[in-house]
Structure 1
Amino acid sequence: MVKSLLGIHHVSAITKDAKANYDFYTKILGLRLVKKTVNQDETSMYHLFYADEKGNPGTDLTFFEIPNAGKTFKGTNSISGTSLRVVNDEALRYWKKRFEDYNIEHEAITFLNKCAVIPFCDPEGQRLFIISDENNSGVEGGKPWTNSPVPENVGIIGLGPTFLTVSRLDRTERVLTDILGFRKTESYFAEIEEKERKVNVFETGKGGNGAEVHVIEVKDAPRERPGKGSVHHVAFRVENEKELHKWVEKLNNAGIANSGFVERYYFKSLYFREPNGILFELATDGPGFETDEEYETLGETLALPPYLENKRDSIEAKLKPLDTTKS
């Protein structure tokens, strides 16, 4: 018997430019780069992890750098929005002013379900929301980095709901509820791509913003063609390695094609696609990002897991230098 998933673990997206990406997410959004490493399946590309002070599970927004990534053509069967949590509604007013000051594309403060939000985009069109935890309970948030350029009391404390747009709701719902154990809790209506759409809310674990998936069914649109600013996958939290092996067994018994157990060093993983083609990952809460770096210097040098260390010279030769030392 598997235990319930604990919430959102991380979201991984695509950038064309690691340097510009680093500048935006650390200097504008005030997140901490807690790990500068490479995509372990394609070591010629950076994999950057932005998070709270030390990369607590549920706070990581990560990016693969693909220099030749083209434009994203939005559509269905995609991860269509990522939200970032702040402690209260007052913090949203700070972010609105900050976005205005830095000329960041954003919309007015509005509400999604019961929570105040600011929809905005990063310079590559990544679809994001700042979401308030003022009316939220459930999975706890993280702790903003004290050296962030954003004041700690309004800083981002983790990932909020992940938004999926699918062509067949029933297919995704069946995997979320029957396989992954999410609970369908409610639905609400919101304007999505200039149309009023029904949004279905699923939660796991303690629930709340840090453990929700919001699913929109859109039958009248083409499938998304991913590029820069698109999301590659969403990962959900598993307590430990023992539990992850149970999930491998559960997926196998259900006849769901999957990666099996995958060693990622900073956590252990399992990957599979739900029936609409969206990539899901299950990832353990540990060991964490301080496994190979000190807390004070997280993200400042290129970190490689031990099984890639003997290839460091050839890996570094293929990467464009990226200075992430803290001033």
Structure 2
Amino acid sequence: MNLKPILGQHHVSALTANAQKNYHFYTEILGLRLVKKTVNQDKPTMYHLFYADESGSPGTDLTFFEIKNAGRTYPGHSSISETALRVPNDRALFYWIDRFVQFGVKHDDITEYAGRKVVAFEDHEGQRLSLVSDENNRGVKGGEPWRKGPVSAEHAIIGLGPVALTVKSIKETAHILTKVLQYKESGKYTRVKGNSITTYYVFSTGEGGTGAEIHVEEQPDMQKERPGRGSVHHVAIRVENEEELGKWAEYLKQLRIGNSGIVERYYFKSIYFRDENRILFELATDGPGFLQDEHLDTLGEKLALPPYLEHKRAEIEANLTPLKTS
């Protein structure tokens, strides 16, 4: 089947126990824009918050489902274990070190992975994150910083970087990435983690670069991750349009890979499936995007519902704790 290459990261969706504190951290400290305040379409009693660049461009979205009673995360394999966020250059990392100190954000020193300067850090719920420099990026371009945000454009986060997976056996995930999703294994590097040195294998797609890589480590002796607040639910990767997504649906069917079929998400269309390591992947279309129901200047200010949930607005709003965004 003639499939176009995956374009790179689309979004990463994680869990939070408190939408208000989550909003504070990701907008007021990290300087991301809340581009869509909506609900989990499969369970509309919980918020689904989308943080991104100025206009919510594909490849810049970090999203959160609010589960108020979510317990702590116990890290392990079968997990999306770190999400990188791109900054313009090496110099910006020094700004972020100072900002993390100012706001009491737990962070490591500047180090280097796969030839790029990186700063690992955690949010207030233990979400495992890093900042990665785009200084030498020659691949997928970043987004446009939030104009009214608290971080200047020269330092601001401009999108998603590499997503790291921790798996019990790399063989199965490598098969899905290379033989099914048509990524290429493009290198490897080592990281010091605790008292050990871990090897990560790099898989890239499309134009490559920081916005189009998945990094995988094998940890057979770890326990399986017990997810909670601060864990990642799934990683979504970019498909150009609905026509192309239809081809992927047919391709997965031919390969007898169990999947959700095409799911309408209003802002994009998706297909979900898991690999044998229980990593949840989503194929998501670039469009139609977040501007079809809100103006660019007022993105994220009101509760947005897709048309097929609009008739339940009163019921949905009654079950949500008001989120203060101003």
Fold shared by both chains (TM-score > 0.5)? yes
- Structure 1 equivalent of residue 243 of structure 2: 242
**Contact preservation (8 Å) 1:140, 1:210:** yes
* CA-to-aligned-CA distance 1:185-205 (integer Å, 9 cap, x gap): 111111134320110000010
Gaps of 5+ in 1: none
* CA-to-aligned-CA distance 1:217-269 (integer Å, 9 cap, x gap): 00111000000000000000000000001101111110100000000000000
* Structure 1 residue 303 corresponds to structure 2 residue 304: yes
Quote the Cα distance in structure 2 between the aligned partners of 1:137 and 1:165: 26
Quote the Cα distance in structure 2 between the aligned partners of 1:264 and 1:45: 16
* Structure 1 residue 31 corresponds to structure 2 residue 26: no
Deviation at 1:323, TM superposition (A): 1.9
Map of 1:58-69 to 2, 5 A cutoff? 58-69=59-70
Structure 2 counterpart SS, 1:251: helix
Quote the Cα distance in structure 2 between the aligned partners of 1:241 and 1:133: 30
Gaps of 5+ in 2: none
* CA-to-aligned-CA distance 1:23-67 (integer Å, 9 cap, x gap): 000000000000000000000000000000010000000000000
Quote the Cα distance in structure 2 between the aligned partners of 1:123 and 1:195: 25
Structure 2 counterpart SS, 1:96: helix
**Contact preservation (8 Å) 1:301, 1:324:** no
Quote the Cα distance in structure 1 between the aligned partners of 2:213 and 2:86: 12
* CA-to-aligned-CA distance 1:146-188 (integer Å, 9 cap, x gap): 1010011100000000000000100000000000000001111
Quote the Cα distance in structure 1 between the aligned partners of 2:270 and 2:194: 33
The share of aligned pairs that are identical, in percent, is 59
User: What letter corresponds to residue 71 of structure 2 in structure 1?
Assistant: G
TM-score, length of structure 2 as denominator length: 0.99
- Structure 2 equivalent of residue 75 of structure 1: 76
Map of 1:1-327 to 2, 5 A cutoff? 1-325=2-326
User: What letter corresponds to residue 153 of structure 1 in structure 2?
Assistant: E
TM-score, length of structure 1 as denominator length: 0.99
Structure 2 counterpart SS, 1:124: coil
Deviation at 1:114, TM superposition (A): 0.5
How many residues in Structure 1 have an aligned counterpart in Structure 2? 325
Aligned-residue CA RMSD in angstroms? 0.6
Quote the Cα distance in structure 2 between the aligned partners of 1:207 and 1:89: 19
**Contact preservation (8 Å) 1:139, 1:211:** yes
Quote the Cα distance in structure 2 between the aligned partners of 1:248 and 1:324: 38
Quote the Cα distance in structure 1 between the aligned partners of 2:127 and 2:194: 14
**Contact preservation (8 Å) 1:186, 1:201:** yes
**Contact preservation (8 Å) 1:9, 1:59:** yes
Structure 2 counterpart SS, 1:286: coil
Quote the Cα distance in structure 2 between the aligned partners of 1:231 and 1:94: 27
